[in-house]
Amino acid sequence: MKLQKFPRFLAVVILFYAVIEILFKLDVVNGYLLHIINLSLIYVILATSLNLINGITGQFSLGHMGFAGVGAYVSAALSTLVFKLSPSKPGDMLVFVGCIVAGGLAAAVVGLLIGFPSLRLKGDYLAIVTLGFGEIIRTAFNNLDVVGGPRGLLGIPKFSNFTTIIIASALSVVVIRNLIQSSHGRAMLSIRENEVAAELVGIDTTRYKVMAFTFGAFFAGIAGGLLAHLIQLAHPTQFGFIKSVEVLIMIYAGGVGSITGSILAAFGLTFLSEGLRLGIRSLADATGLPIGGEWRMVIYALLLIFIMLFRNEGLMGTKESKIIELPEVE
Amino acid sequence: MSAPLLKIEKLTHYFGGLKAVSDFNFEIPEGSIYGLIGPNGSGKTTTFNLITGIYTPTEGKISFQGHDITGQKPFRIVHRGIARTFQNLRIFGNLSALDNIRIARHYTTRSGLVSSILRMPSFKAEERQVRKEALELLDLMHLSHRATEKAKNLPYGELRRLEIARALATKPRLILLDEPAAGMNPKEVDDLMHLILRIRNEFKVTVFLIEHHMKVVMGICERIKVIDFGETIAEGLPEEVKNHPKVLEAYLGKRGA
Ligand SMILES: Nc1ncnc2c1ncn2[C@@H]1O[C@H](COP(=O)(O)OP(=O)(O)O)[C@@H](O)[C@H]1O
Ligand SMILES: [Mg+2]
């Protein structure tokens, strides 16, 4: 096998995994830092999957975390309430994987149900419908006593760790990347570029919009499930509008339509967000001023304005790095 | 004579109170090059939009190869074998010229989602084939050097050719060209006329075109329909139409064109 035939992306992922594991063993990376890396990897899934809907297919979804919420609650209800899984029991890891996939599938079904009626709407109208959907999902969790209502679903077993999360994250990126870089992906791109022209070269635009929504929702559901089993909690506020906007900012910061950009922005903004959280807290402690974590969102919003004004293409524009992009089949 | 490829009966379309197309009847036999002319705003583009399913006609019937296609979704009409270009270009600007063409070939591909995502050998073989065909079409249009260029960076004349190539990539039986010579210089117009003849002769695609450029219309169209304010004012061979009093009036007369 020729060296350049070895998939570059896989090589980078393995290298990243090995380096972090070694640094963790050497105590250079502590538990807190590893947690932020895990969160970043989960945001990689959320951002790339939203990018499939908003960036590649050119739709405007504002309720992405609603799908993540479905995945989180369904997988956690299964693992915690139905199967009562425990990380210390040997076979339970496999069942956990099943729970996560079930959460993703449930989110995909919801995506499909929302997609069919609402994807006839364009632009702003679609944004409003998806926003409404996200809030409905959040309110539903808030009022469902089986899953804890406003307290949230507690005591979720901690199955998510660096290994499970990086595997899920890399797989998600590969599947979405391979989809985009196929004839089906080009069909989705054509909708973003010019919907009328897409339809008039034979693309069933409704089918591909629904497909993008369903795929996007599936992976958001996977990410939600991983998150719930990482922080051992599923809470309605994690899946509200503000959280969806955070993911939206990621894809704009990274470049709408660029998977590479989404990955970089997911890491960059997750770290920035944690940095701001710490910074604001120590500022409040030092000065005694009543400033809280909400200021993070102000800085986030300013960042978005900054991006729109000075680099409205985002970090990458629509470009991909050679690590993500597949060579043409010659 | 065999059944016409495209048959339009009593086609009428209103935009609110405006009658944009009125009692339009036309038959296009397989293998012909027919033209549609008329002053600006006379309803030519609207007629193409009705044939391709962008609008559903208020009245009338459109049949293609004997099938009633009236009111069908645009992509289904493409699958039946009707392709078109646009008066105001509609390209996929941020995608390469090659991708613009490959997208038009998409509906005739067979690889499913699973084999595409797993990049199975069958998927790769098909990708190779699609790429080869797309490059051949680019070559035919003298656009090979632009294959990897973002379409929006191409000059106007090349974009017109790219749109024709893209339409051909859907493997049509009938192609509708909406003012293909618009904005072209005399040399480009001559090349375009040769190209249209090749499309008909080599690809066996029937051509129905809208054009203001009289050299093109009179030079290659076998039969011409003239409309004004949505109404048919003349129809016939080029020389019959050219000197028809109503046509002269519509073009040179009262409206001071
Ligand atoms: N979508 C539309 N809504 C309302 N009026 C339209 C629409 N499209 C075209 N028209 C009107 O219909 C008439 C015919 O337009 P069109 O078919 O574009 O003319 P042509 O292509 O012959 O120049 C014009 O008066 C135009 O303003
Ligand atoms: Mg017109």
Strands B174-178 and B59-64, by their bridges, are unpaired
pLDDT value of residue A273: 87
Nearest CA to ligand 1 atom 3: B15
pLDDT at B254 over 90: no
pLDDT value of residue B37: 95
Mean predicted lDDT score pLDDT of chain B: 94
Q: Using an 8 Å Cβ cutoff, are A266 and A250 in contact?
A: yes
Domain edges within chain A: 8-240
Mean predicted lDDT score pLDDT of chain A: 92
Ligand 1 pocket: which of B11, B13, B15 to mutate (most atoms <8 Å of CB)? B15
Nearest CA to ligand 1 atom 7: B15
Query: Who has greater pLDDT, A308 or B119?
Result: B119
Atom of ligand 1 nearest to the CA of B16: 4
pLDDT value of residue B34: 97
Strands (E), B16-56: 18-28, 33-37
A330 chain-B contacts, CB cut-off 8 A: 128, 131
User: Chain A residue with minimal CA distance to B114?
Assistant: A179
Strands B174-178 and B82-84, by their bridges, are parallel
d(CA A296, CA A242): 12
Q: For A89, which DSSP code? A: S
d(CA A189, CA B151): 14
- The packing angle between helices B156-169 and B121-140, to 10°, is 130
Phi, psi of B205, rounded to the nearest 5 degrees: -105, 130
pLDDT value of residue A299: 81
- The packing angle between helices A162-180 and A259-287, to 10°, is 140
Dihedral in degrees, nearest 10, Cα atoms B54, B57, B61, B63 = 0
Per-residue model confidence as pLDDT tens digits over B179-237: 999 988 999 999 999 999 999 999 999 999 999 999 999 999 999 999 999 999 999 99
Per-residue model confidence as pLDDT tens digits over A245-294: 899 999 999 999 999 999 999 999 999 988 888 888 888 888 888 777 77
d(CA B38, CA B87): 14
d(CA B189, CA A260): 44
Alpha-carbon distance A194 to nearest alpha carbon in chain B (angstroms): 6
pLDDT value of residue B256: 42
pTM of the predicted structure, to 2 decimals: 0.94
Considering chain B, tell me which residue range(s) the CATH 3.40.50.300 domain(s) occupy: 6-81+172-250
Tokens 């893209």, residue located: B166
pLDDT value of residue B251: 78
**Cα A240-A245-A246 angle, rounded to 5 deg:** 100
| Residue among A178, A183, A199 whose CB faces B106 most closely | A183
Instruction: Please give the average per-residue pLDDT across A80-91, as a whole number.
Output: 92
Alpha-carbon distance A177 to nearest alpha carbon in chain B (angstroms): 8
Which architecture, in CATH terms, is B6-81+172-250? 3-Layer(aba) Sandwich (3.40)
d(CA A109, CA A129): 17
Contact B106 A200 (CB under 8 A): no
| Residue A112 parent element (H or E) | helix A92-118
Instruction: Please give the average per-residue pLDDT across B113-142, as a whole number.
Output: 97
Per-residue model confidence as pLDDT tens digits over A117-173: 777 777 788 888 888 988 999 999 999 999 999 999 999 999 999 999 999 999 999
d(CA A50, CA A48): 5
Percent of chain A clearing pLDDT 90 (strictly above): 71
Instruction: Please give the average per-residue pLDDT across B99-125, as a whole number.
Output: 97
